[in-house]
Amino acid sequence: MPHRLTDFVAGLPKAELHVHHVGSASPEVVAELAARHPGGPVPSDLEQLREFMTFRDFAHFIEVYLAVVDLVRTPEDVEVLTYEVAREMALGQRVRYAELTCTPYTSVVRGMAIGDYTAALERAREAAERDFGLVLRWVYDVPGESGVPAADATLEFALQHRPEALVGFGLGGPEIGVPRPQFRRHFEAARAAGLRSVPHAGETTGPETVWSALDDLGAERIGHGTSAAQDPALLRRLADEGVVLEVCPTSNVATRAVASLAEHPLPRFVEAGVPVAIASDDPPMFGTTLNREHEVAADLLGLDEAGVARLALASVDASFADDELKRALRAEVTAYAGARGVRLDG
């Protein structure tokens, strides 16, 4: 990666649309939580922790991820985690706006009251905007492996205990053995309440899961959607309907959803006219950053500085920010590019 492009990406204002709350915790924060709640499988020693977080495949990643989730037990844990994630995004990656995917069900079933969870999120959000100028919004995610009861609870949290900054309703966890149609009524109710549909699909299963996300869940953006590249008719539909794929290249290789970066389908998505938003998923767990994901995308797509800036603008456009905020974010990206002698018109 040319040094000039790396520098450009580092300073580029960015929107992050597919990033998980707990999965964004740095090793230092995870180690702090492990020390605060000893006795579990997660080591508090940083070297041992890095070894612990080396994944064999997607199933092992889920196992490790849930072990880290188990460390978030108190409202203070939620607030500290969220604030530190915001610090790293804002100061380390120049993220100006982020839609953070949260899974309240996993905290509530461990004994935290939903009101305490929500209040902790909102305190951290307000502090992050005050201290770092980072605008945070929430997507509430159903952990698919926990089935309909988890979806029932998550929908209740979203509708009856809705935090001010909640914008989306999602579905994560394993895809294999978790059919999408069982969650149709939950997504219909969430969408009727003004929340946007952003399920994961097609990461570890075939195109049929992406079709189901569209037909059964009314997906407006899709997390990963990697296997959509196998189905030309699906690519045409995504392009025609403007459904954005949240593309996380390093994650896809780390979880073995894709064999290598060289084989990643991002170029096929772009060639087919499918809108994409470059994202990082669980960056510390995968040893990446949003900066790095933009560099990877630039390499895969053969982009220069203007092309990378357009990727940043595409994420702003795909966000669920209000129109005024989108205009401000677009202006910030454009001004940065202009100051670096990069023209985005024409």
Give the count of alpha carbons within 13 A of 346, CB side only: 2
203 is catalytic: yes
Asked if 26 and 84 count as a contact pair (C-beta separation under 8 A), the reply is yes
165 phi, psi to nearest 5 deg: -95, 10
Q: Are 108 and 153 in contact (CB under 8 A)?
A: yes
Sign of the C-alpha dihedral computed for residues 70, 74, 75 and 79 taken in this order: negative
Residues in the chain: 346
Q: How far apart are CA 241 and CA 82, in angstroms?
A: 34
Q: How far is CA 181 from CA 5, 151, 203, 272, in A?
A: 43, 12, 17, 27
Q: Which of 79, 203, 220, 246 is catalytic?
A: 203
333/344 Cα distance (integer angstroms): 10
Answer yes or no: are the C-beta atoms of 95 and 14 closer than 8 Å. yes
Q: How many CB atoms lie within 10 A of CB 252?
A: 25
d(CA 49, CA 46): 5
Task: Decide if 176 contacts 197 (C-beta within 8 A).
Answer: no
State how far the alpha carbon of 296 is from the alpha carbons of 17, 87, 138, 304, in Å: 17, 23, 26, 12
- Sign of the dihedral defined by the CA atoms of residues 49, 174, 274, 261, in that order: positive
How many other β-carbons are positioned within 10 Å of the β-carbon of residue 228?
Answer: 28
Tokens coding 36:
């605060």
155: which 2 tokens? 């929908």
As annotated, the active-site residues are 203
